[in-house]
Chain A
Amino acid sequence: MSHPERIAALTQAVEDLLREARQQGADAAEAAVSAQTGLSVTVRLGETETIEHTSDNGLGITVYFGHRKGSANTTDLRPAAIRESVAAACRIARHTSEDPAAGLADPDLLASDVPDLDLYHPWTLDADQAADIARDCEDAARAADPRIGNSEGATLYTQGSSFVYGNSNGFVGGYPSSRHSLSCAVIAQQGEEMQRDYWYDSSRLPAELAEPAAIGRRAAERTLARLGARRLGTRECPVLFRADVAPSLLRSLFGAIRGHAVYRKSTFLLDRVGTQVFPDWVQISEDPLRPRGQASAPFDNEGVTTRQRDLVSDGVLQGYLLDSYAARKLGLCSTGNAGGVRNARIADSGQSFEALLREMGRGLVVTELMGQGTNPVTGDYSRGAAGFWVEDGEIRYPVEEITVAGNLKDMYRQLLAVGTDNDVPGSIDSGSWLIENMTVAGD
């Protein structure tokens, strides 16, 4: 059965679940059911290494007894497991405390229709065809240079999903979606030194995936560029977070303005809505309804309408990311962000990557970040890094085994430019970020 055909069956399952919850005594309930099927094929050193057939079902139910809440989920969708799950959720709800903020989303915020965002574009290919594509990708990487002496392989992954959410306020909605990706990781050797890097692409549409050979060549280029890496002496200097690592700085922002972090006062951006967090040229937005978008969704995880919104305008923080619970805790309204930010974008400031190098003059380009190293309460930031040292606006040599440190509040204020080089796949659209000054620790 294709995923669009499954929507009706999943809708029936959601309605059955809600009825079962009511029969077991719940005052209100919400449920989500999903089915996912896929194929993952890895080719390493030209040979097929693994073929994985994936097939994941999931069902989640949350029940409310007044303002007391209980949840359950299961990968087993047989009737006995469903009954056990609903009973477990109800048992839990009888023991949790009355919490006035707990409950379903306000009915007037629920999506009144479910727009078709064109997210489902299945790829019918068998394991041999998938292996051929992965092989083309890895072959291109291995052929790029004799120093590419080893490989972790190339993986083609394709999946289709169907998802339905419903609640006892009468909302039920669902949609099918697809996701395809091709990735390649290779190892370059030079004397005793070994370096690894990778590249990938992902898309809702098979036809929009980059050419396999182009992905392989880029994986090879990135890996070769690391050879000859040195350390740096400890110093302060400007730092350019290349477009492949810059989205992590936006993720830290989103973590800090998440409603749950705000009402817990566990964020370095507490009470900062309406204030200048970035320089006045910075614009950050989300667009959950973008057709074929990697993180698009016609409604959030509680059935609330999603909409295009500005998160930061002219450098000023516009609001928090709220689900119903956090909104009630803060005396605000849900922003349709149950489940997070969808298709975020930071507008560029007009410079190419090369122009940013020239603007920086002398400093560090970061192309890899390691470890967690971010304190969400204080904004203190200290992470392992690798990249390139830049002098006179040009890359001089690769660097590794260093750290970059500062505080996210300062880093955001000291954002000098965002590049036009936003060619990195994923759900966050960002070019490279040039930050005025950070501490680099090395030898």
Chain B
Amino acid sequence: MSHSIAIARETLLDAPGLSEGQLAQVMDRLLSRQVDAADIYFQYGRLESWVLEDGIVKEGSHSIEQGAGLRAISGEKTGFAYTDSLELSRLLDAAGAARAIAQVGQHGARAVATHAAAPALYAPINPLDSLSEEQKLDLMRRADAEARAADPRVQEVIVSLVAAHDTILVMDHSGQISGDVRPLVRMSVQVIVEHDGRREQGSSGGGARQALDFFLADDRAMAYAREAVRQALVNLDAVAAPAGMLPVVLGPGWPGVLLHEAVGHGLEGDFNRKGTSAFSGRIGEQVASPLCTVVDDGTLPGRRGSLSVDDEGTPSGNNVLIEKGILKGYMQDKLNAHLMGVAPTGNGRRESYAHLPMPRMTNTYMLPGAHDPGEIIASVEHGIYAVNFGGGQVDITSGKFVFSANEAYLIEKGKVTHPVKGATLIGNGPEVMTQISMVGDDLALDTGVGTCGKEGQSVPVGVGQPTLKIDQLTVGGTAA
């Protein structure tokens, strides 16, 4: 039994006084109809956040999120109920409500408690107390000072620091118990600059499944401050972005949000099982240029999108989605994997005990290619070089997706020239992926800030890619 499971058992079973026998009793109740699968998910979550503004730490907040979610599955039907109390009577009530989805009858087997362990990808620490309050506030104040010192045009600085500590335990219908202790920290710096009456904003940040001293290492916090200022100042000089189809070069790292939107969501198992994705039924087909190999990898140690086990107890995988342009597989949770006759891939995730799990991404990125990034830019006569993005969105059925650049430049005659204002880029996922004509050798992952929303549920994710060139993509600027 790994250390994480021991902590999860202690926190979620021993502390509220639940015995293994009582847990089996709740599972028996869930299984007392014709249920194919069931699980009980326990969560103990603590989160602390601080905000600095106007040079002072103004606000701090502490959150408790705790409870249990119970699910019963019969064929394609799911019954779900949850409770914020871990008392046996409330768990039994929730089990009774969840199992009502299934016909009267009996599940074949009884749950026998066993334990599953997966290699831990992060230490089972509590990041909330990984620095003292004084150290947390000092870190934020130093980032504020760094941003203000970087340029006299800086008017406002907002620094936020968040530490989250989630402990989860999940028991499935066979009785297998998995657990995980998930630290997550995030810091961000946002600035407003002003010059000659024009104002602009810039922001930067990062995070990881680590302790808060992550931000002290390698000068990270100060680098976020300087980066936010740099970005805002670039935008002060930006001219209108072009409108129309152009070659687009995307920088390494966070621009990988392209992959998250253009292919990631469309390869989630639920949409493909239902046949509602533009990628449905296309395994084995060419869906991207042969230069593209895209993976979803939840096994990267300490990354924001990583999980030792997913929220159904399946160990995370490094799953190849697209290999040299050929569609290899979808991302699956247990329900959709079972219904599609494939193995779960460790992508069953949920926002909390009060949400149903579904197939979700972890860290989605493209493997490096052979080109020098400079050579890629030099190959463009007239186009856009986009290095920073806000969010994106996709219509998985039509395949149309957008992502919004907030730092971009013109490329003129093979050289990066003037900064242009933020603009939305729009394309069709399967089409755009075939337009990728050069892939750089400079794979980078994002700094650990991504949050993905799906059906109202938010989960932390990562993205990454090398520099890459898309021959034609619609750029939504205003300049003719």
Contact A441–B477 (Cβ < 8 Å): yes
Measured between beta carbons, the chain A residues less than 8 angstroms from B79 are 50-51
Q: Least Cβ distance of A2 to chain B in Å?
A: 18
On chain A, the number of residues with a Cβ less than 8 Å from chain B's Cβ atoms is 76
Measured between beta carbons, the chain B residues less than 8 angstroms from A402 are 426, 474
CB neighbors of A among B70-128 (8 A): 76-85, 94, 97-98, 100-101
Option from B77, B476, B480 in Cβ contact (under 8 Å) with A384: B476
Option from B201, B401, B477 in Cβ contact (under 8 Å) with A405: B477
B10-24 vs A, CB cutoff 8 Å, 1 = contact: the mask equals 000000000000000
CB neighbors of A among B407-463 (8 A): 421-424, 426-428
Segment of A20-28, A72-80, A303-311, A340-348 in the binding face: A72-80
Task: Kindly state the separation between the CA atoms of A371 and B401 in the bound complex, as whole angstroms.
Answer: 8
Residue among B53, B60, B133 with most chain A CB within 10 A: B60
Contact B56–A50 (Cβ < 8 Å): no
Contact B201–A266 (Cβ < 8 Å): yes
Contact B67–A99 (Cβ < 8 Å): no
Asked if B333 is at the interface (CB within 8 A of a chain A CB), the reply is no
Asked if B219 is at the interface (CB within 8 A of a chain A CB), the reply is no
Segment of B29-37, B179-187, B294-302, B391-399 in the binding face: B391-399
Contact A55–B476 (Cβ < 8 Å): no
Segment of A83-91, A158-166, A313-321 in the binding face: A83-91
Task: Kindly state the separation between the CA atoms of A106 and B81 in the bound complex, as whole angstroms.
Answer: 42
Option from B58, B276, B393, B476 in Cβ contact (under 8 Å) with A99: B58
Contact B398–A55 (Cβ < 8 Å): no
CB neighbors of B among A383-403 (8 A): 383-384, 386, 400-403
Option from B80, B356, B398, B401 in Cβ contact (under 8 Å) with A196: B398
Segment of A239-247, A331-339, A372-380 in the binding face: A372-380
Contact B276–A187 (Cβ < 8 Å): yes
Contact B64–A401 (Cβ < 8 Å): no
Measured between beta carbons, the chain B residues less than 8 angstroms from A265 are 155-156, 192, 194, 199
Contact B427–A382 (Cβ < 8 Å): no
Task: Kindly state the separation between the CA atoms of A74 and B46 in the bound complex, as whole angstroms.
Answer: 9
Q: Is the interface of B mostly helix, strand, loop or mixed?
A: strand
Contact A52:B356 (CB < 8 A) given known A70-B60, A195-B397, A403-B424: yes
Contact A370–B402 (Cβ < 8 Å): yes
CB neighbors of A among B238-280 (8 A): 241, 243-245, 274-276, 278
Contact B62–A85 (Cβ < 8 Å): yes
Contact B194–A373 (Cβ < 8 Å): no
Measured between beta carbons, the chain A residues less than 8 angstroms from B395 are 196, 370
Task: Kindly state the separation between the CA atoms of A265 and B157 in the bound complex, as whole angstroms.
Answer: 11
Measured between beta carbons, the chain B residues less than 8 angstroms from A76 are 64-67, 84-85
Q: Least Cβ distance of A420 to chain B in Å?
A: 29
Task: Kindly state the separation between the CA atoms of A81 and B62 in the bound complex, as whole angstroms.
Answer: 11
Contact B61–A71 (Cβ < 8 Å): yes
Measured between beta carbons, the chain B residues less than 8 angstroms from A193 are 398
Contact A150–B200 (Cβ < 8 Å): no
Q: Least Cβ distance of B279 to chain A in Å?
A: 11
Option from B66, B354, B390, B428 in Cβ contact (under 8 Å) with A81: B66
Measured between beta carbons, the chain B residues less than 8 angstroms from A74 are 63-66
Task: Kindly state the separation between the CA atoms of A250 and B39 in the bound complex, as whole angstroms.
Answer: 44
Contact B424–A195 (Cβ < 8 Å): no
Contact A52–B80 (Cβ < 8 Å): yes
Task: Kindly state the separation between the CA atoms of A179 and B404 in the bound complex, as whole angstroms.
Answer: 34
A205-219 vs B, CB cutoff 8 Å, 1 = contact: the mask equals 000000000000000
The 19 sampled A-B contact pairs (Cβ below 8 Å) are: A50-B356, A55-B83, A72-B64, A75-B84, A77-B84, A98-B56, A187-B276, A195-B398, A264-B156, A264-B192, A370-B393, A373-B404, A383-B476, A384-B476, A403-B424, A403-B476, A439-B243, A441-B474, A443-B245
Given contacts A50-B356, A99-B54, A403-B423, 17 further A-B pairs with CB under 8 A are: A49-B76, A51-B100, A52-B80, A53-B98, A54-B82, A56-B354, A75-B65, A75-B66, A75-B67, A265-B199, A370-B401, A375-B201, A378-B199, A384-B393, A403-B474, A405-B424, A441-B477
B interface with A by C-beta (< 8 Å):
48, 50, 53-54, 56-67, 76-85, 94, 97-98, 100-101, 133-134, 137, 155-156, 158, 192, 194, 199-201, 241, 243-245, 274-276, 278, 354, 356, 390-393, 395, 397-398, 400-404, 406, 421-424, 426-428, 474-478, 480
